[in-house]
Structure 1
Amino acid sequence: MTDKVVVVGAGVVGLSIALVAQARGIAVQVIDREGPAAGASAGNAGAFAFTDILPLASPRIMRQAPKWLLDPLGPLSVPPAYALRIAPWMLRFWRACAPARVRASTTAQTALMDLSKAELEPFLAATGTLPMLRKEGNLQVYESQAEFNASLPGWQAREDHGIEFRHMTLDEMSAVQPGLSSHFTHGTFTPGWYSIADPRDYTVALADRFRANGGEITIAEATGLADDGVLTTAGKLRGRVVLAAGAFSHLLARTLGVRIPLETERGYNTTLPADAFDLRCQITFGGHGFVVSKLTSGIRVGGAVELGGLKLPPNYKRAEAMLKKAAAFLPGLRTGGGEQWMGFRPSLPDSLPAIGPLPGHPNVLCAFGHGHLGLTQSVGTARIVADLLSGADPGIDLAPFSPARF
C-alpha cells in the first residue's frame, strides 16, 4: 500500500482534509467529478454554527414535523414520489429522537463543535483565508411567547455548556437588526456564531492553496472503491482513500458492499443583490426553517428540508415561498434580481456524521453525512481524519461517529 491518500470530494470537507493531511507531509490527491465547490459547499448559508449543538433528530422536531409536513412548501417536505423509498430512513430518524439517544448525540455533537471551533482560526491563518472570517453573530427570532418558551430547554443545554447568548425583546432585537417585522415578539442573539464571507469563494481559495502547496485535483468521476484506491473514469488512483463525497458517498460505499443509511436533504435558496437589505447579522427564522445571511455575493435567503433524494427535479417553488416569507418578515427587503439554487445536504438519521474506517475496509476512511453542518465541522473533521491517517490520537471519542454504528 502506497503512502499516498486519495480524497474523494472537492467540497469544503474534502479540501480541508486534504490541506491538513498535506501539512503533515502526506501526499494527497483530490478527485471530484465537477471540481471544487460544485455542490453544497458553494450554496450554503456560510455559517460556522458552533452553538448549534442540538441534533436535528430530537423530540422537538418530532412535535413540529406533522404540522410542517402538511405544507408542501413548508420547512419540511417529502415528495410523494419519494415517500416509500425514504420510509426506512425516517424510522431510523424516529428512533434517534428517543431522549437517551438525543443526550448521547448532543454530547458527541458538542465535542465535535468544540474541536472544530478550536481548530478553525489556526487553519484559516495557515491557508491564508482568515480575512474571510466574520464574527457578527446570529439572531434567532420567535413569533409568540409559546414558541419562545418551547426553545428554552435548548438554550439551557447551551448555557450548561458555557455558550453565550442573550434573550431579547422586540426593541432589543431592533437595535441589533433594524427593519425586523414587529410580528416577532422575542429573540435570542448568539455572538459566538461565526460566518464566512462567501462559502464558494472560501472553498475555491482552499483548492487554490492545496494546488499551490503541490497538491493535485483530478476532474473525473469516482465509479467505485477498492482497498487500494479509487476506480474512476480517468483510471484507477491508488492509495488510501478518504470518502468525502457528500450526498453521493453512500453510493460509493455500496461498491464495497457496505450499506450506510445516508439520505439527501435538498436545500433551496435565493441569493439577492448585496444591497437588497441592510443585514447586520444572520437571522434564523426557526419556526419557518430558513435563514437570511449576508455574503459578499449578496443576501442569501434559504434553508428548509426536502427529503427527496438525488434524482427528482428541483421544486423552485420552495425557494419562492421562503423569499415571500422573508419579504414579510423584513419589510424593507427588495426581492428582485435574485439567483435560485438547489443543493444536496448529506444526512444520517441520528444527525451525526460518519467519521472513521468503512466497516471491513480499514484503508477507506469516511468523512461525510454532516447534514447542515458541513462548513461548521469541516476543520474539526479534517483534524480527526489527518490524525487517523498519521496514526495520532484524535483526542475525541469517535465511537458516536463510527460508520459501523448502523
Structure 2
Amino acid sequence: MTSSPSAQPDVAVIGAGVIGLSIALALQARGLSVTVLDREGPAAGASAGNAGAFAFTDILPLASPGILKKAPRWLLDPLGPLSVPPRYALEITPWMLRFWRACQPDRVEAATAAQTALMDLSKAELEPFLEATGTLGMLRKEGNLQVYESQAELDASQPGWAARARHGIEFRHMNAAEMAAIQPGLSQRFTHGTFTPGWFSIADPKDYVLALAERFRAGGGVIERASVSALKPDAAGVAIETEGGSRRAGHVVVAAGAFSHRIAQTLGERIPLETERGYNTTLPAGAFDLRTQITFGGHGFVVTRLSSGVRVGGAVELGGLSLPPNFKRSESMLAKAKQFLPGLQTEGGQQWMGFRPSLPDSLPAIGPARASRHVTYAFGHGHLGLTQSAGTARLVADLVSGRPSAIDPTPFSPQRF
C-alpha cells in the first residue's frame, strides 16, 4: 500500500531522524502505508550532526558508579565532558536524582544486560537493513581507538573492559608504539590505548539519513513538514493535531527525539526525557590523516573521519531545549584536539549543536503508550540513536504488526519510570 497527504495511512511516524525513518522503512517493508511527519524535515536534528558511529561495543550505561566518581570534577568545569548550565540546574534536578538512582550497581547490571541485547539485535539487523535500503556502500569498518594518558587511567577503565569481555566483545590493549601503527600522529602524552575492531561507522550520517528518506519516498512513503501539537487516540486510531489542522492514522509511532516527551504529555504521560546537547566542529576532509575513530574518554569527545570532513565532537551538556548554544564548548574540544593530534589543521571548521534525547537509566523508551494501543514510543536513545536504529526499527515493526518481539522489550518499557 502507498499513502498520499490526503489519505489516512496505516501508520504515521512522528520524526524524520535516523530512528523515525528506519522505523518507517521497516513498517513499509511489512506492507503498511506510512506517512512521516517532522517539524523540520529529514536529518534536521541530531541525526545530521552525530559522530557517525555504530558503537555496538558501547554497552555500558552513562548512569554508572564510574560516572559518579568523575561527575563532581567534571561539573565544576563549564567546558568539561559533563556540564549543567547554572540557569538549568533547578529544572533538571528531578532528572538528576533519577540518574543517580540508576547508578546503583544492581540497576547498572540490569541496564547493561538490556543494552547488550539491543546492541546485539541492532548489529544483526544493520547490514541486512543497509542492503535492503541501498546504503551498504556507506558502511565503514575501521574500528575505534580509546586512548589513555597513564597506566592509572587504563587501570581505572578495566571494569568496563571486563564487562565487555563477558559479553564477547573483542578488544586489545596497546602501548604507544602499537597505537602509532594503527593511528600515527598521536601526542606522546597518550601512553596506552585500547583498540576495538568491531566498531563500525557510516560515511556521513546526514547523507545516510537523507538516503533513507529518498528510499522511503521511492517506496511510496510520504514525508510532510508538520509540527505535532497533540495526539488524540480513539477506538479506531489516532487524531494527530498539527498547526495545519487535524489528520488521522491507524497507528502513530512517536520518534521525535528530544521533543518526544512533549507529545507524550498530551496523552497524560510524564516520561523523564532530558536533552544531552552535543557540540562538534567539522573540519575539511584533509585536516588530518585519520585512520580510525579516536575516543579521548578522559576529555569526553571523539574525532571521526567522515566523507564530509573530520568531525571533532562529543561531551554532554544537560541544558534542555531552550537555552542558546554555548559554542565555547566546540572551541574547547577543538583546542584540545589540536594538542592531542599536533598535525590537525583546525582552520575552516563548521560548528554545530544538536539535541540528543536522554533518559536517566541510559535506555531508550520503546513500547506502547499507556493511553492507547494505537500509539508506540521509540525515543530516548541518547548518543546511540544511529547505533540502535536498525534494532529499534525491528522492535517497533514487530510491535505494530503484532509479531513476537525479537528480544525481551520489558527493560525498554516507557512505563518503567
Output the TM-score relative to the length of structure 1: 0.99
Q: Which residue of 1 aligns with 2:372?
A: 361
* SS at structure 2 position matched to 1:328: helix
Does the alignment pair 1:129 with 2:135? yes
Greater helix share, 1 or 2?
1
Does the alignment pair 1:246 with 2:257? yes
Q: Which residue of 1 aligns with 2:172?
A: 166
Q: Give the unaligned 5+ runs of structure 1.
A: none
Q: Which residue of 2 aligns with 1:198?
A: 204
> What amino acid is the match of 1:69?
L
Q: Which residue of 2 aligns with 1:230?
A: 240
C-alpha deviation, 1:235, in angstroms: 2.3
Q: What does 1:3-402 align with in structure 2 at a 5 Å threshold?
A: 4-227=10-233, 228-239=238-249, 240-402=251-413
Retained in 1: the 8 A contact 2:267–2:371? no
* SS at structure 2 position matched to 1:153: helix
After the TM superposition, list the runs of 4 or more consecutive aligned residues in structure 1 that deviate by more than 6 angstroms.
Answer: none
Q: Distance in 1 between matches of 2:94 and 2:198?
A: 36
C-alpha deviation, 1:3, in angstroms: 6.6
Q: Distance in 1 between matches of 2:33 and 2:239?
A: 14
Retained in 2: the 8 A contact 1:173–1:187? yes
Q: Give the unaligned 5+ runs of structure 2.
A: 1-7
* SS at structure 1 position matched to 2:386: helix
Please list the CA deviations of residues 36-88 of structure 1 after superposition, one character each: whole Å capped at 9, or x if unmatched: 00000000000000000000100011110011011100101100000000000
* SS at structure 2 position matched to 1:375: coil
Q: Distance in 1 between matches of 2:113 and 2:42?
A: 32
C-alpha deviation, 1:395, in angstroms: 2.4
C-alpha deviation, 1:363, in angstroms: 1.0
C-alpha deviation, 1:236, in angstroms: 2.0
Retained in 2: the 8 A contact 1:4–1:238? no
Q: Distance in 2 between matches of 1:229 and 1:193?
A: 41
* SS at structure 1 position matched to 2:92: helix
CA RMSD of aligned residues (A): 0.8
Output the TM-score relative to the length of structure 2: 0.96
Q: Distance in 2 between matches of 1:47 and 1:237?
A: 36
* Number of residue pairs matched by the alignment: 405
* SS at structure 1 position matched to 2:304: strand
Q: Distance in 1 between matches of 2:182 and 2:329?
A: 29
> What amino acid is the match of 2:339?
A
Q: Distance in 2 between matches of 1:229 and 1:161?
A: 44
Retained in 1: the 8 A contact 2:268–2:371? no
* SS at structure 2 position matched to 1:279: coil
Moved more, 388-397 or 13-22: 388-397
